[in-house]
A and B are shown apart, each in its own frame.
Chain A
Amino acid sequence: MDVHFQVNTKTQGNKDSGVFSTVISEGQSSEGQLAEEQPSAEDRSHQLSSDESIQEKLSRLSKVITKHPLNQMVLYKILVACKTNRKEGELKEEIATYPQFKSATLDQHSLIDQLVRADGLSMSEYDGNGNLIVRGEQTDGVLAEQDKTPPPDQDQEASVTWRCYLTTEIGLIYIDENTPEKRLADLLSLVPSRNEFYLKVLDFCSGEKQPYKAIEALLERDLLALPEEQALHIPTKPSLFIDKLERAGGIVWDDGWTITDIGRRMLQTFKKD
């Protein structure tokens, strides 16, 4: 079982069933905050279906986002953050607040740049008067390939006062195909005998932040009852549940494990049921 984004040409064939899903779910941000209404991924795919390179672009974007686990969730959240046009400085400040950014291997600029190069974000540059600086042909808000790395034009560079970033259509499809709500729902449908443990962890992390050892103490004895224990020969470790819940977007590490908004909503739903 893994936590890969679905569109990952490099690994797709070898992976077990994923927590991430292609089934489209709307209106969720990266960690469960409600987002503004957007067209569904199905609609977007339909709109763009005439373009044969969409799937290739989606694969390339996926490859960039999933390339390094420590950057994966940050990159996804940047895409979500840029559903509306975001000024660079403001965006960088927001990225710095992401708990996952503390462990990322790249700085804000490099992370944003990766998404621009992978066609997940489009970049716009403005001069001091607020005029858009056009470096080359732009189509549908996506920078032309030759303009992704601006030319060393000192005069033009000097005139750039700020940059803005907006998630592209490709980026929006990617977001919709990988909403945490869907990933979490998928996770809970994969091995029903484990749900008790997932929910126990969600519940445990819904109050104070919890260190790993506390979750280990919570689960370890009960884990011996799992049926797969016998088949695997090696005792399942509590980190299995933490890892999968984290990648599904149910919990996040912020100097301790804590539940996300989507995790909390999922927990409440299950408690009602």
Chain B
Amino acid sequence: MTMTEKHCPKALSRRSFVKIAAAAGAAAGLGVSMSGSLKDAGKAFAESGSSIKTVKTMCHGCIQFCAVLATVEDGVVTKLQGDPDSPLNKTSICIKGLNQMHTVYSPRHILHPMRHVERGTNKWETISWDEAIELAATKIKEGVDKYGPYSFFVSSGGGGAYSGFWAYGFCEAILSPNSFEPGGAQCFMPRASMAPFVYGGRPPSIADSFLWEPFNTYKPATKMIVLWGAQPSISQTALSGHGMADLRVDRGCKTIVVDPNFTPDSAKADVWLPLRPGTDTALVLCWWSYIIEHKLYDEDFTKYWTNLPFLINPDTRLPYLAEEVWPDYVNPAKDPNDEFSTPAYVCFDKKTGTIQPLPYSLPEDSPVDPEIFFTAVVNGAESRTAGQIYYDEAKEWTLEKTGEYCWLQPDKIEEAVKLYAEAEVAGIAHGVATDQTKASSEVPLGVNGLDTIMGYVDKPGVTLTHLSEQYKDRPVMVGDTAALGAWSANYGVGYHVGKTDNWNKKRVEEFPDQELLKTYNQLQRDRLGLVEHKGFFWQDNCHIPTILKAIRTGEPYKPRVWYDFSGNKLAMLGNAQSWYDVLDEIDFCICQYPMITSFHYEAADLIFPLQEWLEWNGTSDIINNKFMFTQVIHLGETVNNGVPATRILARYRELMGETGPSKYTVMPQPDSEDGVRAGVAKDMGVESYEELVNNQDKYVPKVTPPDEYWRYYQYLDIVSDGLPGGFATESRKCEPYCTILLKMSRTGWPFTYPLEMPACDDYNPICVNIPPNENPGDDPEYPLVITSGRVPYYHHGTMRHAPFSRELYPAPEVKINPRTAAEYGIEHMDWVKISSPRGSISARAYLTEGEAPGQLWMERFWNPEAYDASQANPDGGWRQCNINVITDNYVDSDTEKPYNSVYGSYTLRGFQVKIEKGERPENIWVEPKEFEPFMPTLTSEPQTGDVF
């Protein structure tokens, strides 16, 4: 018996379903229910008894995944609750998870492939899967035939169905260089990639499932944690949010919250620093300055395990190598096999009072006592240590100056930095906020660096931890560990940091498929915006404003056939109007998603129906526990999110006269639900999926023994060369002075090796102050600063069709300080109009002392009902309340573009606006009764078998 048969007694094959649907006249469009609403079942049914079962599965409501128990009565899911086997969410789930009961059975859950009869209308036509795949493959082929493969591009992200691996892989299979996702540079990549650059390990992002150490109950050690621009209580309520609550309550963990917004995490913090939006770099530098000034750093760790004592060549901005100063120097750490690289640098030795080589060794074996903060003459040039360079940059940021600049009380800053620096062990966990400013690289660089000089690295209780296998050799940073880009290693591209030049050269020369390597290098070279923003190589993405401009202008080529893998791009992308404006440049837009959004209304030509998470198979980890997503129900012809891509690609290759899998892609290959199930079983270590789901209590979760999972102090373990393992960086030490960024800006190293990209301006190797792009007082017409974030009811652009959540939070609220509101005659729950030079939107005023005077806060996304067929005047619905109508991507800026140098991030938080009293916009619902069209109607849909 298959899983579907077991749980869905009325299971239908695809063929029989289509037959029934046709007989019922089920050709449908949005707003046309394919089933009846909830009905009175009658006495006979009530007396017939029910089949009730509980299935272990996981929630996919946000970027973290909670373990969940789903109660199924006669094939209908009637209850969701947290799985007590979960070490983190335990028995709880949040409102986002509970929304699934409404979204999976929502009349907006699309169940069949839909051809859009006409963009900008609600006219849809249900077509067969075969027709849909043929249409998509044909349109991609038409573009490639006429304009070459660069006519094609993909996007992903946006919540609901994360499909990045398929998106990037599909793009490369077509031999196109351009994929993007709204969250790449704006909500993931900076915080996730900077830690690997700084110390070669896992990022300390609490917004993702990277950071588990604080929630280690096996050997709990975290005593102090800083949430910098993160609000787990709202964004990851039942997992990291729950974990933080347990930390505070059960273990007395101290917390500092750096956030302009008064969140539940702010409310519970020992110190809350409500800084002015976008001024994080100044506060980071203030902490650096205070810690150095007051000698609060871990001197031994900083001296021997960071690169701050290295003397820096003022011309190259890179550390001197010992051989540059003493040509005959023999590096004792040199690998006789010329495989691993462990350079010796140059320092000022406190013992001898001279500059000396600084070879790599255990601290106790070091021949020198390096000064961290010093200026010396090297090869005739006055040269500072990396530590001195940092201190010189930071020291102007006194408590007073920082307080004034960041709108903070100096004594509160001091209280916070002392709490952090004087803790026995602590760590900084950052979130989304700083990714959404042009300082997106500098903030994580600065806070990761703080943890390194405090020695809060690779030990119990910190946030910079490895969780990796025990080292045997000197650790190396390579692509196939995802530290240096998603795919590059599969193409032979990329420098293995920690290996020698000769080894890398030989590896490239001996790579078996040189054509593959050169093709991939060419795609990297031609990717849009990557000369300037080479950090994108980490995620194989292109720069969003640059691809937008290419679509608009055709320069240097025109991307024109679009495959969007998930989300609502008009809700997610900055300056939404600028994207709307180029839709008429898009030849064909293929989409896949579980529901139709305002983006699909405006842009899609074709939509493939994806499974909601109660229909989905997969796996995910919660700390050292692997859980499974179980297909609890299945409606219509929905599929796993990887299936359309694999099917379309196969058909495309047939049309192109090619057979078999493409060598240019490493896209995951399952093209059927059975293939997905087999992958789940393999991942869970069980022979078959059937065995797994029939014995979930036995197999779920799959637990890695804690003593294997939790590993610390690996940098001290002696490895194959007789030296301590160290870190997976070029110097083998933590690099708060981040040399990889300098080299990256100049050649694309290590991502594009052996290709050298054209140079751009040097990226900052340390945190420097990056002021907000717009500041109070810059333009008197826009006197207020606005920032944004998530609310607990929804994730990204999803769930706006969950009626109970909408009843609780029907429309976006803009938080305003009562004094500011009074200046504008605005009262609580008034509708207000918020305007920037880009446009105007509406929101309801929420008056609170939790916002500073002169500052506004609003929800990040809005994806309303305005295109609903039940409305008299439907429109796209993305303009009325969407904060991205008033954000900017600077695509039209004539002056220097205010993007982050490394990642090209633009400003989504901390920009200037004005407000005035306004009116409720047309088409925006607020009354409970108005949400009736969203009430679940698909509970009586027949359970169906696999499409493929």
Contacts and interface: CB of A to CB of B under 8 A. Distances in A.
A233 B528 CA distance: 10
Nearest to A17: B553
Interface string A114-142: 00000000000000000000000000000
B278 to A, nearest CB: 26
A159 B73 CA distance: 57
Q: Which of B581, B584, B758, B892 has the most CB of A within 10 A?
A: B584
A240 B556 contact: yes
A16 B148 CA distance: 23
B585 to A, nearest CB: 6
Interface string B133-168: 000000000101111101100000000000000000
B520 to A, nearest CB: 16
A89 B142 CA distance: 28
A110 B151 CA distance: 27
B532 interface: yes
B259 interface: no
A186 B142 CA distance: 27
B584 A69 contact: yes
B374 interface: no
Interface size, A (range)? 35 or more
A120 to B, nearest CB: 16
Interface in B97-151: 117-120, 142, 144-148, 150-151
Interface stretch (A7-15, A30-38, A51-59, A74-82): A7-15
Interface string A232-273: 111111111011100000000100010000000000000000
Interface string B406-449: 00000000000000000000000000000000000000000000
Contact of B555 (A15, A232, A242): A232
Given A66-B584, A233-B532, A234-B528, A212 B148 contact: yes
Nearest to A8: B584
Contacts of A94: none
Nearest to B115: A105
B892 A14 contact: yes
A211 B145 CA distance: 7
A1 interface: yes
Contacts of A68: 119, 584
Contact of B584 (A10, A211, A212, A233): A10
A234 B529 CA distance: 8
A68 to B, nearest CB: 6
Nearest to B135: A105
A2 interface: yes
A246 to B, nearest CB: 8
A58 B616 CA distance: 49
B599 interface: no
Contact of A233 (B531, B578, B582, B586): B531
B555 A236 contact: yes
B531 to A, nearest CB: 4
Interface string B530-560: 0110000000000000000000111111101
Given A106-B118, A240-B558, A11 B147 contact: no
30 contacts: A2-B552, A2-B554, A2-B585, A11-B581, A11-B584, A14-B552, A14-B581, A16-B553, A69-B560, A70-B588, A103-B587, A110-B118, A211-B145, A212-B147, A213-B148, A216-B148, A233-B531, A234-B528, A235-B525, A236-B555, A237-B148, A237-B526, A237-B557, A239-B150, A239-B151, A240-B557, A242-B146, A242-B147, A243-B147, A243-B554
Interface of A: 1-4, 10-11, 14-16, 66-70, 103, 105-106, 110, 211-213, 216, 232-240, 242-244, 253, 257
Given A234-B531, A237-B526, 19 more contacts: A1-B554, A2-B553, A11-B582, A14-B581, A68-B584, A106-B117, A110-B118, A212-B146, A212-B147, A213-B148, A234-B526, A235-B556, A237-B148, A237-B150, A237-B556, A237-B557, A239-B150, A240-B558, A242-B147
Nearest 5 CB-CB pairs, A to B?
A: A237-B557, A233-B531, A239-B147, A236-B556, A11-B581
